[in-house]
Amino acid sequence: MTALPFLDNPPRFLFFTGKGGVGKTSLACATAVRLTGAGRRVLLVSTDPASNVGQVFGATIGNTITAIPDVPLLSALEIDPQQAADAYRAQIIDPVRGLLPTAEVDAMTEQLSGACTTEIASFNEFTSLLADPQATADYDHVLFDTAPTGHTIRLLQLPGEWTTYLSDGKGDVSCLGPVAGLDRLRHDYRGALEALTDPSRTRLVLVARPQRSALGEAGRTYAELLELGMSDAHLVVNGGMPHDAAGDPLAAAVESREAIALQDLPANLRPLPRTTIPLLPFNTVGLGALRSLLDAAAPPPPDTGSATSATVPDDFAVLHSLVDGIEADGPSLVMCMGKGGVGKTTVAAAVALELARRGHEVLLSTTDPAAHLTETLQADVEHLTVSRIDPEHAITQYRERVMAGKGSALDDAGRAVLAEDLKSPCTDEVAVFQQFSHLVFQSRRKFVVLDTAPTGHTLLLLDATGSYHREITRQMSEGTRYTTPLMRLQDPHQTKVLLITLAETTPVQEAEELQGDLARAGITPYAWVVNNSLAAAAPSSAFLQARARAELPSLARVAELCGRVAIVPMLAREPVGTAALSALTQQSATEAQLAHAP
């Protein structure tokens, strides 16, 4: 394994993290397969609320440790947030059923119905794997395939935050549950923090594409995790364009921009040991593809479409036509949703920019803690305002409002109790939801284009929206007129949901699952957007043509799932800056390529 620096003398715990879409899951799965091939017993754990480890292996994996049938010595676990939350609620509520009045039990159930409970329940399972040696005693290595960056940082900060909160807290029970359980939780969280910050036990694997935005995100992530004490870190640059001797202009342009991005590597990443993994001409799904990812000598999976030309379905539109439809309904909320790394920020910025160019007042905002809209736009634009939901600012404002309101009626002791309870990390959920609700209602007067956090985290936000809707419905007397954020999200004239995906197996499956989740909430997507498509770019090199052919099954599936689809071609230069973003909303893919030529 010496050809792969990040696997030299691997410690017991390996954390794979980075910006969404950089290949964390593929790399974690391939690493697990390689380690088991060397005779190591491996447990692969996904902490991503939108996990797709099971899809990569073609196996059903749930909230219990499951052996992978085709890979001896490998087991996997997908921490299912909903199952974890159900078990957590049962652990707290079942012992008091029959002992407390029904009204109090119902109140406890509602208190534990929000996204915060889901996060804490999932986190309890995560910490047990780190803090309890017996939980993973059967394995030589435990690999964590983490959620996209912003959520991962939040997750890894929790051991310290909860340790501090449990040590200092003297307030009400909040969403942690009965006070009697706090001593055990304190022990688990302290043990998890010790494991995370011990370089002999834990290695951080920062995964990035050779792109300026992904490398910049990796640099920011490393800086934050280094502050937590995670000092043993490696950089893996994944999916670099191989040199094309035939001179395909698109391949050459991508290769050149990637080389520039690596030359400008963030300063804090330069000293780290680095592993470089080239882009493959096929999707990394299945054992053959996983073995090829880390072993160039492994036989690649067959190119089943070698005799097929990569043609985009005739009924796929361009992004320009979607903006026409959005504009026709007047001011509304446009939510760009999907798996991390599929280009939500880019599509959101392009749509907002085009609406502003047409003279409409537009607010472009994000709920993604790892998003950087200003870096994507790189300029001020007339009629366009850019904002973001800043969790820290939202929490500060929320605490101040609660203390000034509810706290004003309390004595000094009561205010001290309230202040302690507001230190709970669970306060984030309420604070961020309030700012999200404010954005939703601004869409009554202007276009609000929202770049959402990666799928799993977005669903937690929608869960909070649903909880708020149920609470308001209970409080309102019969005949009272009211509108909740969820009601606006369910109205197709007031909200347009764009599901962003790539023409690859896993992102399409993930978007399909998200569409099902939205349907259960009464929300129907307005359209799908297939981003960064090679089939739409019509490359000339054999390598890129093979990649384009690999897109065809995914494009066919998207056509089955939605009657309105737009496709955006892979472009020679990264869509950063107003000129490049405007090219995405040109009338045709050909015009986009010409407008965006190097």
Q: What is the model's pLDDT at position 111? A: 64
- pLDDT (tens, 9 = 90+) of the chain, 598 residues, equals 447 999 999 999 999 988 777 888 899 999 999 999 999 999 999 877 666 787 788 788 877 889 998 899 999 998 877 777 787 778 778 887 888 788 777 777 766 665 556 666 777 777 788 888 888 999 999 999 886 555 555 556 666 665 665 555 543 444 444 333 444 566 677 788 888 889 999 999 999 999 888 898 899 889 988 888 888 999 999 999 888 766 788 888 889 989 999 999 999 999 999 999 998 888 788 888 888 889 877 877 766 555 556 788 888 988 999 999 999 999 999 989 887 778 888 999 999 999 999 999 999 988 765 556 777 777 788 999 988 777 677 778 777 887 888 788 888 887 877 776 666 555 555 666 667 777 878 888 999 998 876 544 455 555 555 554 454 454 444 555 545 566 677 888 889 999 999 998 878 888 888 888 788 778 899 999 999 999 998 888 888 888 899 899 999 999 999 999 999 998 887 788 888 888 888 755 555 554 445 5
Helix axes 102-111, 81-93, angle to 10 degrees: 150
Could you tell me which CATH class the domain 319-396+429-595 is placed in?
alpha beta
* Structure-token pair, residue 395: 């929490």
- What is the per-residue pLDDT for 236? 97
DSSP for residue 192: H
Question: Which residues participate in catalysis according to the annotation?
Answer: 21, 23-26, 48, 506
Residue listed under structure tokens 């050779």 = 210
For residues 31 and 37, is the Cβ–Cβ distance under 8 A? no
Residue 147 has a pLDDT of 67
pTM listed for this prediction: 0.74
Domain span(s) for CATH 3.40.50.300 in the chain: 5-294, 319-396+429-595
User: Alpha helices, DSSP H only, in 38-148?
Assistant: 53-57, 81-93, 102-111, 115-131
Contact 55, 509 (CB under 8 A): yes
* Bridge-based pairing state of the strands 495-502 and 333-337: parallel
At 171 the pLDDT is 37
Query: Does the domain at residues 5-294 carry the CATH identifier 3.40.50.300?
Result: yes
